[in-house]
Each structure stands twice: as structure tokens, then as C-alpha cells.
Amino acid sequence: MSVQIFNEQATEERAENARMSAFVGAIAVGDLVKSTLGPKGMDKLLQSSTNPDAALVTNDGATILKSIPFDNPAAKVLVNISKVQDDEVGDGTTSVTVLSAELLREAEKLIEKKIHPQTIIEGYRIARTVSIEALEKHAVNNGDNPALFRNDLLNIARTTLSSKILSQDKELFSNLAVDAILRLKGSTNLNNIQIIKKVGGKLSDSYLDEGFILEKKFGISQPKRIENAKILIANTSMDTDKVKIFGAKFKVDSTSKLAELEKAEKVKMKNKVEKIKKFGINVFINRQLIYDYPEQLFTDAKINSIEHADFDGIERLALVTGGEVVSTFDKPENAKLGYCDVIEEILIGEDSFLKFSGVAAGEACTVVLRGATDQVLDEAERSLHDALSVLSQTTRETKTVLGGGCAEMLMAKAVDQAAANETGKRALAVEAFSRALRQLPTILADNAGYDSSELVTKLRSSIYNGIYTSGLDLNNGTIGDMRELGIVESFKLKRAVVSSAAEAAEVLLRVDNIIRAKPRTADRNH
């Protein structure tokens, strides 16, 4: 006699079945994104089911995984780690998924040999610690030397961009990204880098504006060019400027009184403008709307006004021009104004923008991307964002490691040595970890169309023989010196890849039961 304890449509998978379902899901996700890995990786075209016209072409692991609705819980875990990797470091989203899937693939083989999942986890923990130590040992820190550090950054940008759509113009874009990041002066707030996308031209027409570009216009009949601009950046209402006392409202009994009140309102606005004038400015930028009347007043006072610069825009402007965001206007002497040499209206493509050049502080900047189609532009933005994220994180953690499978192979070597010192079944798991690490260069070579078994074994022997800078030169299909080739990656990125992938594999390895509740239905009476 058996008793049904679950709700009718709830399901339960146990032991082998649960484990299988977890492994299969994770490995499937890994296989899905694996072909995008490396400089010769391919892109995916994602088509939305609700809007068939919205096609998305991308090489970015996190974007691909975010866009696919998975039902498998293990797949969701991998999607989540790739998302977190994206938020934390910005790149390496594919690597982390692939490594995690490879770790589980190896674990599956061990479980077939009847090794307890907890034993495998023990082994993986040992291996993870060892590999991160190895990574740390071989990391190079050029943070103290600006020239070398800039070179490192450039190399990292090149490495990151080489697998993306921007690889053709990676020289241009890596310089662009590094310049943009160095202007942030150590801040990691990427919102300060504005990316403007305009269809038309080609990718190589993109540029970093040395000033700042705002997607706004001056008010009507104001001059299109201002020199020696003194800027007041404000966040205040310039529409009706209502009284904020709660519950206050106008109630009048005659039209004449209404007219008087209207006039009073106007006077109030006029007073505000007068106050603003006292700041001695010639440009006024407001986050909120500016109605016609105050705009007119500004024009008369020879102050150019810009309305409705959104929140990010205002913050960036404040950073760029060194001004302060102001909401009260009683003390002009206390307020910090922004300065720049020239503000002018320019055309990009067919749209007009305001360009601020010769800015005082310059802690924010604008990148203008040009490209043939929306898809290209979107993908270019994603790629550039990846590069910017990695670079900004590298300014914090200045250590670097080598790419092209070099770092992975170094870790694999350390792990192999650790395995030799381990006794008991967990040594098998430690070995498995090193095999999973070696899968990354293998996939890189496979994606580039080379004989991976040949190349990777060559790489292995080279590294194991102490040439610690060897890696895969995927343009020539040979083993090369990564330091010379300039294939450099951020240490933080690699460490995050190894540690998150191992953590995710551990989470899934520990599972022996999947209980699924009845899916919620749209039916009211469910």
C-alpha cells in the first residue's frame, strides 16, 4: 500500500534520477554556450517567441542564457552564476558556465564509479583552493607602474574584445575603452560612461568624445554655441513650481482674482529665474521640464537652458563639469558651478546633440558607437560594456594573468600535483578537477578549428616543463608566448570563474532529490 502525500501534479525525482536530471541540465547549458568561447567562437541568433521580429545576435554568454527560458533547475543555477559573473566582473560569463558544466561532467563519471558525492565535493574543494593559489602565484601586478599598467589594460581589452563582434577593430576599441576607464579615475561606476548608439557608418567610425555629449537640445531661439560656459546644474521644477503645502489648492470666486493669482505664479517663477540669474551663469541645465515662460526669460537673459536632462545625464554632467546638482537658489556664493570651454550643437547621423568640450573635471565621458544595423550596435554595446566592466574591475584589482588557456593549464598543473599527494578516493576528484580545467583550452582550440588533442597536449607539456607563459596562439594554431602576444586577462575575472564554477558544481552535486510543486495555472480555481 502506498500513500500519495503530494499534491496531484507535484512530482518528485529521487537519487539517481534527480542527479541525472541535474547533470543533464547543466551539461546541456554548458554545451549550448561552449561554441561561443574564445576568439574563434561563433555567435548565436536569439529570436523572441512573442515578437518574432526582435532578433538578437550575440556572443555574450550571460545574454544568451538570460534570454532562454529554462525549466531545468540545474540549468537555472548555471544561468544564475553567469548572471552574477556578469554583474561582478562583466565578462567570463561563458567560461564560468562551461567550466561548471565540465566539472559536473567529470563528477558524473565519478558517480558512475560509485564515489559518494560528498567525497567528490571534498576533492573539488581541495582542487579549487590549490588552483586559486596557483593562479595567485602566477599573477603579475603592474598596478604601480602606470605605463605598464596601461599596457596591461590595453591587452586585457584586446583579449576581451577579440571574441566579440568588435574584434576587427579591437585596436580602436581597446584604446577607446582604456581611455574611457582611465578617465573615471578609479571609480567603477560605469554609468559615468555614456554610450550613444547611432545607426549608420561603420564600427570603425565609433569614437570616444574627449568632451561629453548630451542627447538634448538648447531651448528655442537660443544660440547654438556657447563659449566659456558657466553651467548651473539643477534639479528643480521649472514648470508650475507648485506650493508643496499639503492640500493647498486655488479656490477663487471671480475671474479677475484668478488672473491675479496667475500673475502671482508668474512672478514667483520670475523670481526664481532672477535668483538663478544671480549665479552669473550662461547655461542652465535642469533635470525636470522647463516651461515656455521661464525658457523665454532665460533666453532674454542670454542664458541657454536645457530641460529634462534625465537623472543619469545630470549626474554625469555634474561629474564632467565639476558642478554640483542644485535645488535651491538662495545662496549663489555657496553653489559650485560647472565649467567648460565650448558647448555646441552637433550632428551625429541625423540627430543633433549637445557637445561639451574642454570640460573641467572630466570624470565622465561619452562613447559614440556607429554601425550598420541595430543588432550590430547592440552587440557592439554589449561587447564594449564587457570590456569596460573588466577594465574597471582591473583598476581595483590590478593583478593580471595570461589568457589563451595558459592560466587554466597552470592551475591544472598545480591541481595534478596536489592530486598526487592526496590519498583516498578524493584524489580521483582532484584529478577530475584538473581534467575539467584542461577542457577550457581544448574548447578554445576546437572552436578555432584546430586539432585540439594535438595542441592541448603540446601546451600541457610546455607548461608542465616550466614555460609558464605558453598558451594557445589561435591565429596560427601553435603554442606561443602569451606575454609576447599580449593575451592578458584580469586576475579577478579568472579567480571569479574558478571559484563560482566550483561553487555551482558543488551546489548541484549535493542534490539527491528534486521536488517540483504543481505549476501555478492561470485558472482561478486551481
Partner 1 sequence: MAAQGMPDLSNAIVAQDEMGRPFIIVRDQGKKQRKHGIEATKSHILAARSVASIVKTSLGPRGLDKILISQDGDITITNDGATILTQMDLDNQIAKLLVELSRSQDDEIGDGTTGVVVLASALLDQALELIEKGIHPIKIANGFDEACKIAIDQLDKVADVVPIEDESYLLKAAKTSLGSKIVSKSHDHFSQMAVDAVMAVADLERKDVDFELIKIEKKVGGSIEDSLLIKGVLLDKDFSHPQMPKQVKDCKIAILTCPFEPPKPKTKHKLDISTVEEFKLLQEYETKKFQEMIDLVKQSEANVVACQWGFDDEANHLLLSNGLNAIRWIGGSELELLAIATNGRIVPRFEDLSPEKLGSAGIVRELEFGTTRDRMLVIEDCSNSKAVTCFIRGSNEMITAEGVRALHDSLCVVRNLIRDNRVVYGGGAAELTCSLAVSEAADKQKGIDQYAFRAFASALDTIPMTLAENSGLDPIETLSHLKSKQVNENSSRLGVDCLGKGTNDMKELFVIDPYIGKRQQLLLATQLTRMILKINDVIISGKDEY
Cα–Cα distances (Å) from 500 to 273, 301, 429, 496, in that order, read 55, 59, 18, 6
Residue of the chain from 22, 177, 269, 320 that contacts partner 1 (CB under 8 A) = 22
* Cβ pair 303, 282 in contact under 8 A: yes
Using the rule CB under 8 A, give the single segment among 207-215, 218-226, 239-247, 408-416 that binds partner 1. Answer: 239-247
AA letter at 455: L
Residue of the chain from 42, 68, 264, 372 that contacts partner 1 (CB under 8 A) = 264
The partner residues of 470 in beta bridges, in order of sequence, read: 481
Spatial distance between the Cα atoms of 265 and 260, rounded to a whole number of angstroms: 9
The answer to whether 244 contacts partner 1 (rule: CB under 8 A) is yes
In the DSSP assignment, the letter for residue 192 is G
DSSP state string for 33-90? HHTT-STTPPPEEEE-SS-TT-EEEE--HHHHHHHS----HHHHHHHHHHHHHHHHTS
Block residue for cell numbers 527560458: 69
| Residues numbered 492-521 forming contacts with partner 1, rule: CB under 8 A | 496, 499-500, 503-504, 506-507, 510-520
Q: What are phi and psi of 446, to 5 degrees?
A: -60, -45
Spatial distance between the Cα atoms of 30 and 505, rounded to a whole number of angstroms: 12
The answer to whether 109 contacts partner 1 (rule: CB under 8 A) is no
Q: How far is the CB of 131 from partner 1 (least distance, A)?
A: 13
AA letter at 93: T
Beta strands per DSSP E along 307-445? 325-326, 338-348, 351-359, 365-371, 399-402
Q: How far is the CB of 1 from partner 1 (least distance, A)?
A: 6
Q: How far is the CB of 516 from partner 1 (least distance, A)?
A: 4
Using the rule CB under 8 A, give the single segment among 35-43, 177-185, 321-329, 404-412 that binds partner 1. Answer: 321-329
The three-class DSSP label of residue 240 is coil
* Closer by beta carbon to partner 1, 144 or else 526: 526
* Closer by beta carbon to partner 1, 294 or else 480: 294
Question: Residue 349 is placed in which grid cell?
Answer: 547621423
Residue of the chain from 39, 90, 92, 405 that contacts partner 1 (CB under 8 A) = 90
The three-class DSSP label of residue 322 is coil
| Residues numbered 49-88 forming contacts with partner 1, rule: CB under 8 A | 71, 73-74, 76-77, 80-81, 84-88
| Residues numbered 436-465 forming contacts with partner 1, rule: CB under 8 A | none
The answer to whether 337 contacts partner 1 (rule: CB under 8 A) is no
Residue of the chain from 221, 256, 334, 423 that contacts partner 1 (CB under 8 A) = 334
Residue of the chain from 54, 148, 220, 261 that contacts partner 1 (CB under 8 A) = 261
| Residues numbered 132-191 forming contacts with partner 1, rule: CB under 8 A | 188-191
Using the rule CB under 8 A, give the single segment among 200-208, 257-265, 342-350, 431-439 that binds partner 1. Answer: 257-265
Residue of the chain from 99, 154, 325, 479 that contacts partner 1 (CB under 8 A) = 325
Residue of the chain from 297, 318, 410, 488 that contacts partner 1 (CB under 8 A) = 318
The three-class DSSP label of residue 296 is helix
Residue of the chain from 224, 225, 263, 278 that contacts partner 1 (CB under 8 A) = 263
Q: How far is the CB of 109 from partner 1 (least distance, A)?
A: 18
Question: Residue 4 is placed in which grid cell?
Answer: 500519495
The answer to whether 422 contacts partner 1 (rule: CB under 8 A) is no
The answer to whether 308 contacts partner 1 (rule: CB under 8 A) is no
- How many Cβ atoms sit within 10 Å of the Cβ of residue 221? 8
The answer to whether 480 contacts partner 1 (rule: CB under 8 A) is no
AA letter at 387: A
| Residues numbered 376-405 forming contacts with partner 1, rule: CB under 8 A | 389, 392-393
Question: Residue 467 is placed in which grid cell?
Answer: 614555460
